[in-house]
């Protein structure tokens, strides 16, 4: 077991598997096509400050995840977010408080995955395009044609449609991953130098192109100025407008926001749009993780469970558990 284990994807699922395997004394090597870790929990640095364009917050319901969250909170990587919650239905905005605990990374969402990554070995800006088994070991090939290896085992921790393409050595796993539909989401950030005159800090939206909006400065550790908002379009709207130019997406979602928020919304001083092609699985599954333990090939990610941060973390734990079970 001195030969390292390759983990493709440094989102929360890949990092969950990586930390569990490292704690068990195994060596891992992470690869990510992005410039940093976090995947859909990443935060973007912008002229309007750090923006959480993907996951907005997360809840913890599973006992093991609750314990992990408590530890991360004690480490100062997370804090509870207590927004003034609203809902908008049929154009009617109303307060919608509840008692649910919601957590965010501080000072930005990506703080959690950055801290989990710590000093683990990782190669960024490296898109893996092929995973194959040689005579004895696994090898990876990246988009520049460079090979990486040898590896004793491989964990693929990326969205299902992308995972399917790397799982050809295990056709059953590839078929399962290929059967998972993932929905897109357009995410827009708007920043206003003068704060908007509204008490809303988070809002679940129905009957609109939007399905969620959040006020960045209401999250712990964020800067108060400018007044930055993140708007998420519904998956249905995002699918219908998948190839709309960014400027048009910003304008249409800004208008939807102005219609529902109940106060004057001037032109934004800063705006950006980001398209998440594989934002969330169309439905939840109960697989935990996919494994061909004899081959030493594993797949995990939110799509194996609930399609949320919690599901992704649990899936990474399950991939690691199944690998360790077979390794002993
Ligand atoms: C807009 C949006 C809002 C969301 N809101 C919430 C929320 O409020 N609460 C919640 O709980 N969840 C939310 N989610 C879902 C949550 O973000 C995901 O469930 C979770 O982050 C998925 O983690 P993951 O590790 O499975 O995948 P990812 O985060 O997608 O990580 C996969 C990683 O693999 C890398 N990668 C992909 N292909 C390759 C390749 N070929 N080679 C190398 N690297 C590769 C990617 O760069 C990425 O870093 C949201 C998601 C989106 C998009
Ligand atoms: N956009 C994506 O790609 C994407 C979004 N995801 C969203 O992530 C959160 C997380 O879900 P979780 O179950 O962890 O959180 P909640 O319990 O806060 O929300 C679950 C849904 O329940 C409804 N809800 C919850 N609280 C309220 C409230 N106070 N008032 C009204 N409604 C509430 C709401 O559903 P509807 O909008 O009513 O359909 C919440 O969505 C969650 O928001 C996901 O949508 C996850 C993955 C990808």
Q: Is 57 in the pocket of ligand 1 (CB under 6 A)?
A: yes
- Determine the atom of ligand 2 nearest the C-alpha atom of 97: 29
Residue nearest to atom 19 of ligand 2 (CA): 59
122 with 105, same domain: the answer is: no
35 with 119, same domain: the answer is: yes
Residue 55 lies in a domain: no
Q: What is the CATH number of the domain that holds 201?
A: 3.90.660.10
Residue 22 lies in a domain: yes
Q: Reply yes or no on whether the pLDDT at 271 is more than 90.
A: yes
Residue nearest to atom 36 of ligand 2 (CA): 204
Q: Is 271 in the pocket of ligand 1 (CB under 6 A)?
A: no
Residue from 325, 322, 321 nearest 20 by CA: 321
Residue nearest to atom 46 of ligand 1 (CA): 39
> How would residue 327 be classed by pLDDT, with cut points 50, 70 and 90?
confident
175 with 189, same domain: the answer is: no
Residue 57 lies in a domain: no
- Cα angle: 192, vertex 194, 195; to 5 degrees: 80
142 with 275, same domain: the answer is: no
For residue range 167-193, what is the model confidence (pLDDT) as tens digits? 999 999 999 999 999 999 999 999 999
**Is 184 assigned a ligand-binding role in the annotation?**
no
Nearest ligand to the C-alpha atom of residue 143 = 1
Residue 163 lies in a domain: yes
Interface predicted TM-score (ipTM) of this complex, two decimals: 0.97
In the prediction, which pLDDT does 2 show?
84
**Is 227 assigned a ligand-binding role in the annotation?**
no
121 with 16, same domain: the answer is: yes
- Determine the atom of ligand 1 nearest the C-alpha atom of 307: 19
- Determine the atom of ligand 2 nearest the C-alpha atom of 59: 14
For residue range 291-301, what is the model confidence (pLDDT) as tens digits? 999 999 999 99
**Which residue among 19, 20, 158, 239 is best mutated to probe the pocket of ligand 1, counting the most ligand atoms within 8 A of its Cβ?**
158
- The percentage of the chain sitting over the pLDDT mark of 90, rounded to a whole number, equals 98
Q: What is the CATH number of the domain that holds 126?
A: 3.50.50.60
Query: What CA–CA distances, in Å, run from 216 to 45, 48, 52, 69?
Result: 13, 11, 8, 21
> How would residue 1 be classed by pLDDT, with cut points 50, 70 and 90?
low
- Ramachandran sector of residue 145 (left: φ over 0; alpha: ψ -120 to 50; beta: rest): left
Q: Reply yes or no on whether the pLDDT at 264 is more than 90.
A: yes
189 with 257, same domain: the answer is: yes
90 with 120, same domain: the answer is: no
Q: Supply the range of the domain harboring residue 247.
A: 63-110+181-281
Q: Is 4 in the pocket of ligand 1 (CB under 6 A)?
A: no
239 with 296, same domain: the answer is: no
Residue 56 lies in a domain: no
Query: What CA–CA distances, in Å, run from 195 to 115, 131, 148, 180, 217?
Result: 32, 50, 50, 41, 10
pLDDT mean over 142-162: 98
pLDDT mean over 111-126: 98
148 with 190, same domain: the answer is: no
Q: Count the domains in the chain.
A: 2
36 with 147, same domain: the answer is: yes
119 with 259, same domain: the answer is: no
170 with 312, same domain: the answer is: yes
- What the block records as the tokens of 5 is 């284990």
In the prediction, which pLDDT does 243 show?
98
> pTM above the 0.80 mark?
yes
Q: Reply yes or no on whether the pLDDT at 328 is more than 70.
A: no
Residue 142 lies in a domain: yes
For residue range 196-232, what is the model confidence (pLDDT) as tens digits? 999 999 999 999 999 999 999 999 999 999 999 999 9
> How would residue 143 be classed by pLDDT, with cut points 50, 70 and 90?
very high
Torsion angle of alpha carbons 124, 189, 248, 84, nearest 10°? 140
Residue 146 lies in a domain: yes
Residue 53 lies in a domain: no
**Is 308 assigned a ligand-binding role in the annotation?**
yes
């Amino acid at each position: 077991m001195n030969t390292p284990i390759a983990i493709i994807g440094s989102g929360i699922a890949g990092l969950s598997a990586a930390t569990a395997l490292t704690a068990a004394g195994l060596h891992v090597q992470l690869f990510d096509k992005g410039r940093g870790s976090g995947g859909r929990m990443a935060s973007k640095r912008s002229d309007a400050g750090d923006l959480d364009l993907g996951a907005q917050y997360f809840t913890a319901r599973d006992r093991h995840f609750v314990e992990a969250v408590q530890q991360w909170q004690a480490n100062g990587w997370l804090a509870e977010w207590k927004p003034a919650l609203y809902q908008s239905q049929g154009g009617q905005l109303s307060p919608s408080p509840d008692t649910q605990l919601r957590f965010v990374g501080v000072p930005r969402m990506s703080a959690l995955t950055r801290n989990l990554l710590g000093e683990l070995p990782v190669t960024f800006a490296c898109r893996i395009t092929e995973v194959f088994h040689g005579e004895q070991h696994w090898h990876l090939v990246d988009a520049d044609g460079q090979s990486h290896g040898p590896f004793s085992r491989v964990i693929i921790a990326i969205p299902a449609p992308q995972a399917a393409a790397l799982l050809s050595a295990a056709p059953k796993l590839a078929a399962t991953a290929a059967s998972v539909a993932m929905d897109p989401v357009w995410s827009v950030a708007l920043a206003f130098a003068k704060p908007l005159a509204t008490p809303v800090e988070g809002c679940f939206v129905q009957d609109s192109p939007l399905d969620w909006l959040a006020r960045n400065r209401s999250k712990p550790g964020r800067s108060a100025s400018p007044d930055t908002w993140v708007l998420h379009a519904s998956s249905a709207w995002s699918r219908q407008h998948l190839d709309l130019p960014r400027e048009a997406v910003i304008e249409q979602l800004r208008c939807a926001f102005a219609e529902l928020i109940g106060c004057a919304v001037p032109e934004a001083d800063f705006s950006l749009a980001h398209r998440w092609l594989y934002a969330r699985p169309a439905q939840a599954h109960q697989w935990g993780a996919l494994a061909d333990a004899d081959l030493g090939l594993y797949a995990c990610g939110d799509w194996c469970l609930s399609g949320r941060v919690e599901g992704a973390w649990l899936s990474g734990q399950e991939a690691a558990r199944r690998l360790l079970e077979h390794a002993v």
